[in-house]
Amino acid sequence: MLSDERHRGILRLLAENGRVTVAEISERFRVSPATARRDASLLADTGQAARSHGGLLPSKFFQSEPHFRAKAGQNMGMKARIARKAAALLPHEGNVFVDAGTTCLEVGNLLLDRPDLHIFTNSIPLITQGVNARATVVSLGGEVRKVSLALTGSLAQSWLSHLRFDAAVIGASGLDLATGAYTTELHEGAIKTEALRRAGLRMLVADAEKWDKPTAVHFAPWSAFSALVTNAELSREARLKLASSNVTYHLALRS
């Protein structure tokens, strides 16, 4: 296979999967690891993809996520409705993981007044709110990701390996009917995946605008969740997909 043809193939694979590793390039196109690394470097150098540790991401990956503060001021009424519905489904005692993100923060704020609850989180704004909480707020630790105000990385993941949760509240940057939930950053995706693995009730909170807009990093199929809380009626096709994956659908109505 000529190099130009191989490069087109790599870009098609990247578009389909949202990420491609050097090892996948080597295996898929039957080239040496050294050639695969050169291909990845060339595609990154020419702006056709973004280089990441061990592979490639879409070219606009690092410019695609707005800052937490920008998102926090958007659609506040909708986020509050989703949060109220989600909080009503969550326990008043035990251990709950609350993900980083603006909608998850709204949920977490509603849990702070539950004195028998332990809230584990990688959300820096929620950790800050814990100073005056009746609930016990526990930080995962980790590296600060400034754009999302989340704690991520190997330290946060190692903390998770010791924990189990009665429930986990997870956010997403994009949703796809066929494949599930997406985010924009690999390390945050790893935290979400690990928290889901360690929870009883596995709740996704996401507004309807995120449907059919998958972002770069796929972190969970629908079967990884047990509940979805959203703010708009879903199509019959979407409801059937959720039902087939054993996901309960909860609609946050206008009050």
- 165-170 and 199-205: which strand pairing? parallel
Residue 50's pLDDT band, with cuts at 50, 70 and 90, is confident
Residues 34 and 134 in one domain: no
Residues 105 and 188 in one domain: yes
- Give the domain range for residue 200: 68-251
Residues 44 and 108 in one domain: no
Residue 83's pLDDT band, with cuts at 50, 70 and 90, is very high
Residues 45 and 155 in one domain: no
Residues 31 and 82 in one domain: no
Residues 92 and 218 in one domain: yes
pTM of the predicted model as reported, rounded to 2 decimal places: 0.73
Q: Identify which of 40, 93, 91, 48 has the alpha carbon closest to the alpha carbon of residue 201.
A: 91
What is the reported pLDDT for 73? 47
Percent of the chain with pLDDT over 90: 55
Q: Render 166-217 in DSSP notation, one character per residue.
A: EEEEE--SEEETTTEEEES-HHHHHHHHHHHHTEEEEEEE--GGGBT---SE
Residues 54 and 87 in one domain: no
| Mean pLDDT of the region 20-32 | 90
Residue 70's pLDDT band, with cuts at 50, 70 and 90, is very low
Q: What's the rounded Cα separation, in Å, for the pair 214 and 136? A: 34
Residues 44 and 168 in one domain: no
Supply the DSSP symbol for 142: -
Helix (H) or strand (E) holding 48: none
* Domain C-terminal end among 42, 63, 84: 63
CATH code of the domain in which 160 resides: 3.40.50.1360
Q: Render 51-86 in DSSP notation, one character per residue.
A: EETTEEEETTGGGS---HHHHHTSSHHHHHHHHHHH
Percent of the chain with pLDDT over 70: 91
**Each residue's pLDDT tens digit, 146-196:** 777 899 888 888 889 899 999 999 999 999 999 999 998 888 899 999 999
**Each residue's pLDDT tens digit, 215-238:** 878 999 999 999 999 998 999 999
Q: At CA 190, angle to CA 180 and CA 241, rounded to 5?
A: 10
Residue type, 245: S
Residues 90 and 189 in one domain: yes
First vs last C-alpha separation in the chain: 60
Q: Structural domain tally of the chain?
A: 2
* Domain C-terminal end among 38, 63, 88: 63
What is the reported pLDDT for 76? 61
Residues 92 and 151 in one domain: yes
Q: What's the rounded Cα separation, in Å, for the pair 129 and 116? A: 17
* Domain C-terminal end among 12, 39, 63: 63
Residue 97's pLDDT band, with cuts at 50, 70 and 90, is very high
Confidence check: pLDDT of 42 > 50: yes
Residues 27 and 123 in one domain: no
Confidence check: pLDDT of 52 > 80: no
Residues 131 and 212 in one domain: yes
CATH code of the domain in which 16 resides: 1.10.10.10
